[in-house]
Amino acid sequence: MDTVSMDATDRGLVHALQIDGRVSFRAVAEVLGVSENTVARRYRRLRSSGVLRVVGVVNGVRLGYSSWTLRVRCTPDAAGSIAAALAARPDTSYVHLLSGGTEVSCNVQTPTAAERDALLLDKLPRTSRVTAVSAHLLLRATALPATWAGSAHLTEEQVRRLRPTFVPSTTEAVALDEQDRAMLGILARDGRAGYGELGCATGSADSTAKRRLDALRRAGVLTFIVDIAPATLGFSTEARLWMSVQPSRLADVARAMADHPEVSFAAMTTGPSNLVAAVNCRDAEDLCRYLTERVAALDAIHSMETAPVIRTLKRAGTCTRTPR
């Protein structure tokens, strides 16, 4: 990823894409008060330099998938290669090296029990340099990267003008076919791929590809997020938190964590650590303040492990280049 400075127009564009990853450049230009060519040029600059991309993300819950967060402890010489192998899998996201390079964390969505067992019971434990694996089933997320406050820049009125008009359904039955899977594969690499490209991949007309994409969004299966390193937005210190919370207050604490602007992901899980969170802070001192003031005020948390992120190999979508 190249080093790129970002001004107010860039920040406004990032926030607009977070609101709707497929919003038209014309709509963004009208909100920002610049030309459509300026917006298109800024987007191409940020994307070609590796600063950001828009990716289509599948909500596995709507398809009956199971979602897990993994902690893989390994020997120091193996962590990089194990993390890279996990990042190359199509079912993983948010693959990080943690805590001195001896631990890897990642999220996994598995469509079937057989695929889950192949990863959790066979492949990782049979790697001799893996010393321990901890797998936590994600039960309910209360904060997701798509709504993280760190990229906020626009006013409430500007946000209102850019927000999609449809409301995703949580009840409509969903079944993917091969055309859908082909479309989702392309969108995982480039969430702003044109309808012509999507139509070619699915063997359908551009208009048919658009209708199906819109249907998947309305069904809550497909969402678009901005894949951008928090450091680009000024948050140079990332960490993963694993907390043990009093069960009777777990839901309340999870909701409280979701309201913290530092938190980009929070979810209730199985296991002795029953709440996991991803936090983004300006620097180490900011992280210290957050842990000792904001988190410490939640007295239902009995214990907590904090692991700084030292390298990110994959965030959302498909790994398309060597990550940093």
* SS3 per-residue string spanning 267-307: EEECCCCCEEEEEEECCHHHHHHHHHHHHCCCCCEEEEEEE
pTM of this structure = 0.90
pLDDT of residue 180: 94
Domains of the chain: 175-218 (1.10.10)
**pLDDT below 70 — which residues of the chain?**
1-3, 170, 172-173, 319-324
> Do residues 280 and 264 touch, judged by C-beta distance below 8 A?
yes
pLDDT of residue 158: 97
Closest CA to 263 of 292, 230, 232, 285: 230
> Do residues 241 and 276 touch, judged by C-beta distance below 8 A?
yes
Q: What angle do CA 52, 236, 270 make, to 5 degrees?
A: 85
pLDDT of residue 324: 37
pLDDT of residue 323: 38
Please tell me whether residue 148 adopts helix, strand or coil conformation.
Answer: coil
Task: Give the C-alpha separation, 105 to 110, whole Å.
Answer: 16
Give the pair of three-digit tokens for residue 71.
Answer: 């902690």
pLDDT of residue 150: 92
pLDDT of residue 2: 57
pLDDT of residue 172: 67
Q: How far apart are the first and last CA of the chain?
A: 7
Place of tokens 């926030």: 15
Buried residues in 190-217 as b, exposed as e (16+ CB within 10 A): bbbbebeebbebbebeeeebeebbeebb
Question: Can you name the residues that pair with 136 across neighbouring β-strands?
Answer: 69
230: left (phi over 0), alpha (psi -120 to 50) or beta: alpha
pLDDT of residue 111: 87
Percent of the chain having pLDDT more than 70? 96
pLDDT of residue 284: 96
